[in-house]
């Protein structure tokens, strides 16, 4: 089940930290670009990330809070606010995935049964969403993160189980159009598309999942179930998905071979 659009992309528990952080920045007379360059021991982050932190749209790490507390001469207040408000802030419910997806630096997506929502054509999505135009429009709108100019699109890797290519959605014409989109995606969207050869003996057979790497290198994951999706961030949960991802990657074809494989299935099955 795909996530629906969040009613509120701002997390209330993150707002106090972000508001105070912004006040310290403005007191210094620094722009978001200026303070962004000082993060991660000088490696920096984007100004868009600073904006997300200030508005409560994403979390930051304690390391980020410590660096900013030092740079902004906050006297430990930002660290205290992080402990009080940010540390315990989670993404516990399924509909909160979209703000994570929108602010991720990198997305690694494994699809076990259906084409990932970010790569679905409108016709393919319409079948899956039972013709609900509003939901279809929302799903297609999500795909704008792949073509936006600012902030830059996330780096995306799509791992597609071979079974996805064999499972009819709608009719052969919809499948042909969807296959054309998959073949064009690497060049048109700058994403990597890999076909994972179908086997029954790897951890990826449990569920589709997506791992988002945020700009501060924190990882958040999303998995699906028939009832709803779940957003995960605990270390042991992420580690389990990483193990599954390693097994999936081991079965994945290179991009050029994957595109040839998609074309072959399209010709043999959907014409």
DSSP code string of 145-204 = GGT-SSSPPPEEEEEEEHHHHHS--S-HHHHHHHHHHHHHHHHHH--EEEEEPP-SSSGG
- CA 256 – CA 265 distance, rounded (Å): 15
Q: So what's the pLDDT on residue 56?
A: 85
> Residue written as tokens 């996530």?
3
CB-hemisphere CA count at 13 Å for 114?
16
Q: So what's the pLDDT on residue 10?
A: 64
Beta-carbon contacts of residue 98 (< 8 Å; ≥ 6 apart): 3, 5, 6, 9, 142
Q: Provide CATH 3.30.870 ranges for the chain.
A: 97-270
State the CB neighbour count (10 A cutoff) for residue 196.
24
Q: So what's the pLDDT on residue 234?
A: 81
SS3 for 42?
A: helix
Q: So what's the pLDDT on residue 233?
A: 79
- CA 155 – CA 252 distance, rounded (Å): 18
Asked if 48 and 145 count as a contact pair (C-beta separation under 8 A), the reply is no
Residues paired with residue 231 on neighbouring β-strands, in sequence order: 222
Angle among Cα 246, 93, 98 to the nearest 5 degrees reads: 70
Q: What is the pLDDT along the chain (271 residues), one digit of tens a residue?
A: 444 444 445 667 788 999 999 999 999 999 999 999 898 777 788 888 898 889 887 778 888 899 999 999 999 999 999 998 888 765 444 346 777 888 889 999 999 999 999 999 999 999 999 999 999 999 999 999 999 887 789 999 999 999 999 999 999 999 999 999 999 999 999 999 999 999 888 999 999 999 999 887 888 899 977 767 788 878 899 999 999 999 999 999 999 999 999 999 999 999 9
Q: Which CA distances in Å does 234 have to 92, 222, 238?
A: 11, 12, 6
Q: Provide CATH 1.10.260.40 ranges for the chain.
A: 12-86
Q: Select from 1.10.1760, 1.20.1300, 3.30.870, 3.90.79 the CATH code of 97-270.
A: 3.30.870
Q: So what's the pLDDT on residue 6?
A: 41
Q: Which CA distances in Å does 157 have to 14, 110, 206, 213?
A: 29, 8, 19, 12
CATH topology of domain 12-86: 434 Repressor (Amino-terminal Domain) (1.10.260)
Nearest to 116 by CA among 6, 261, 107: 107
Q: Which two tokens stand for residue 85?
A: 């408000």
């Amino acid at each position: 089940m795909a996530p629906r659009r969040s009613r509120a992309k701002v997390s209330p528990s993150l707002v106090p930290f972000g508001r105070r952080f912004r006040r310290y920045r403005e007191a210094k007379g620094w722009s978001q670009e200026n303070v962004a360059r000082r993060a991660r021991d000088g490696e920096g982050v984007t100004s868009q990330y600073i904006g997300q932190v200030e508005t409560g749209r994403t979390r930051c790490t304690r390391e980020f809070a410590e660096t900013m507390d030092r740079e902004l001469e906050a006297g430990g207040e930002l660290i205290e606010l992080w402990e009080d408000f940010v540390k315990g802030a989670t993404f516990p419910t399924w509909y909160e995935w979209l703000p994570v997806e929108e602010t991720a630096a990198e997305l690694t997506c494994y699809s076990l049964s259906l084409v990932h929502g970010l790569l679905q054509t409108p016709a393919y999505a319409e079948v899956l969403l039972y013709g609900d135009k509003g939901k279809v429009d929302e799903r297609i709108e999500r795909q704008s993160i792949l073509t936006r100019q600012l902030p830059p699109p996330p780096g995306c890797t799509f791992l597609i189980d071979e079974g996805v290519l064999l499972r009819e959605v709608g009719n052969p014409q919809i499948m042909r159009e969807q296959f054309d989109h998959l073949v064009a995606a690497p060049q048109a969207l700058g994403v990597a598309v890999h076909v994972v050869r179908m086997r029954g003996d790897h951890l990826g057979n449990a569920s589709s999942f997506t791992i988002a790497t945020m700009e501060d290198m924190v990882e958040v994951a999303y998995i699906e179930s028939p009832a709803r999706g779940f957003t995960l961030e605990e270390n042991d949960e992420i580690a389990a998905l990483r193990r599954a991802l390693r097994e999936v990657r081991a079965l994945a074809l290179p991009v050029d071979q994957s595109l040839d494989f998609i074309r072959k299935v399209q010709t043999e099955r959907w014409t």
